[in-house]
């Protein structure tokens, strides 16, 4: 089962993720620091601050409030798939791909979106999306595991699709 393997992140993915992580963390910490200074200044636990603080206090507090969710959103952003990636050998890899999902599952939506990505479309058949809530047997089998991705009858991913593992799967499977 491919989902049990912990992938090694590629160097290019680390390079694209690092600036987002650093910027997001810096924004969260700076926003928290501004709010902490405002609270301490209000309670009288700080010595006199520079004039700049008092002149721009409302703007700085608003900035501090905005920076925390913006920093979190920047950190959570998903990297876009590398549009230049191609396997060594062209061709479709599987006869069928099924995604066991349920209504309102954002991870399921993400899985289908990844499988529909133009980068992978030439190598994968159109995924069949199966709602597990319509079949009691499937619901009992996959209830908390969705999305579950099955390729030619073999479960390959549970919970989410790791794009590095998907690429390895495509590379390691010979075309039909």
Token pair in block for residue 2: 């491919």
For residue 65, what are the contacts with CB-CB under 8 A and spacing of at least 6?
31, 35
pLDDT, tens digit only, all 176 positions of the chain:
333 333 344 444 455 566 778 888 899 999 999 999 989 888 888 788 888 888 999 999 999 999 998 888 887 775 555 667 888 888 999 999 999 999 999 999 999 999 998 889 899 999 999 999 999 999 999 999 999 999 999 999 999 899 999 999 999 998 88
* CB-based contact 165:7 (threshold 8 Å): yes
Q: For the whole model, what pTM was predicted?
A: 0.55
Going along the chain from its start, the domains and CATH numbers come out as 11-76 (no CATH), 82-172 (3.40.30.10)
Q: Which of 82, 115, 81 lies closest to 98 in space, CA to CA? A: 115
């Amino acid at each position: 089962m491919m989902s049990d393997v912990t992938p090694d992140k590629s160097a290019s993915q680390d390079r694209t993720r690092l600036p987002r992580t650093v910027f997001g963390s810096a924004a969260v910490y700076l926003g928290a620091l501004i709010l902490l200074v405002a609270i301490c200044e209000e309670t009288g636990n700080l010595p006199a601050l520079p004039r700049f603080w008092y002149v721009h206090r409302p703007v700085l507090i608003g900035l501090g409030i905005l920076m925390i969710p913006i920093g979190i959103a920047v950190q959570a952003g998903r990297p876009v798939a590398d549009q230049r990636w191609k396997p060594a050998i062209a061709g479709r890899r599987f006869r069928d791909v099924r995604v066991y999902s349920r209504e309102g599952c954002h991870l399921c939506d993400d899985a289908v979106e990844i499988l529909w990505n133009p980068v992978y479309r030439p190598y994968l058949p159109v995924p069949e999306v199966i709602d597990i809530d319509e079949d009691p047997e499937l619901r009992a089998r996959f209830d908390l595991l969705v999305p579950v991705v099955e390729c030619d009858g073999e479960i390959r991913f549970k919970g989410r699709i790791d794009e590095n593992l998907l690429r390895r799967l495509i590379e390691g499977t010979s075309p039909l």
